[in-house]
């Protein structure tokens, strides 16, 4: 089970959903010190988040098609070791269950020796794109998704 760091664990919550991608640090992502510039981590985490969404069927377009956007409320990153040019890292996205209409994501970056380089979290609200208002209740398509999650019937 993924290590929870940024969110409190609810023992009755369904198991977090996880997904991993691999990504190489490109030349244009380096800063003058030759390590990855810290602003580029947002793209690493987002790529893993988008891949998790695509895998489980709650991707960016699923939300958009349901006129819901998921703006960030919070984005926290802790750096243990720098990422280096041309090396490939594993980025793990972890979606924690939340009873409210929000997404609690956690992230971990590992190097090829499986050392933990970075941890992070992002919290996303849900916004009705038509009325530009924050949703208090989960939109129907997402509640259906959560129901399957609680029942353990999501395709993994």
Q: Which residues bind a copy of itself (CB under 8 A)?
A: 26-28, 30-35, 37-40, 42-43, 46-47, 50, 54, 60-61, 69, 71-79, 82, 85-86
- Closest approach of a copy of itself to the CB of residue 78, in Å: 6
State which residue, 73 or 147, has the beta carbon closest to a copy of itself: 73
- Closest approach of a copy of itself to the CB of residue 20, in Å: 15
State which residue, 67 or 147, has the beta carbon closest to a copy of itself: 67
- Closest approach of a copy of itself to the CB of residue 136, in Å: 18
CB atoms within 10 A of CB 148: 14
- Closest approach of a copy of itself to the CB of residue 107, in Å: 13
State which residue, 14 or 60, has the beta carbon closest to a copy of itself: 60
Q: Which residues contact 117 (CB under 8 A, 6 or more apart)?
A: 79, 80, 81, 82, 83, 89, 109, 110, 111
Which 3 state secondary structure label does DSSP give 149? helix
The DSSP string of 113-145 is T--EEEEEEEEEE-EETTTTEE-SSPPHHHHHH
Residue 11: exposed, middle, or buried by beta-carbon count in 10 A (0-12, 13-18, 19+)? Answer: exposed
State which residue, 113 or 151, has the beta carbon closest to a copy of itself: 113
């Amino acid at each position: 089970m993924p290590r929870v760091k940024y969110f409190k664990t609810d023992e009755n919550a369904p198991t977090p959903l996880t997904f991993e991608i691999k990504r190489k640090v490109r030349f244009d992502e380096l800063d003058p010190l030759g390590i990855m510039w810290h602003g580029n981590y947002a793209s690493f985490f987002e790529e893993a988040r988008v891949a998790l969404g695509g895998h489980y069927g709650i991707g960016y377009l699923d939300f958009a098609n349901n006129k819901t956007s998921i703006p960030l409320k919070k984005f926290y990153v802790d750096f243990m070791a720098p990422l280096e040019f041309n090396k490939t890292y594993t980025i793990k996205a972890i979606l924690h269950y939340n009873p409210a209409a929000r997404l609690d994501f956690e992230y971990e970056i590992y190097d090829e020796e499986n050392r933990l380089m970075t941890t992070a979290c992002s919290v996303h609200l849900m916004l009705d794109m038509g009325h530009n208002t924050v949703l208090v209740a989960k939109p129907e398509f997402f509640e259906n998704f959560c129901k399957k999650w609680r029942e353990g019937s999501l395709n993994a």
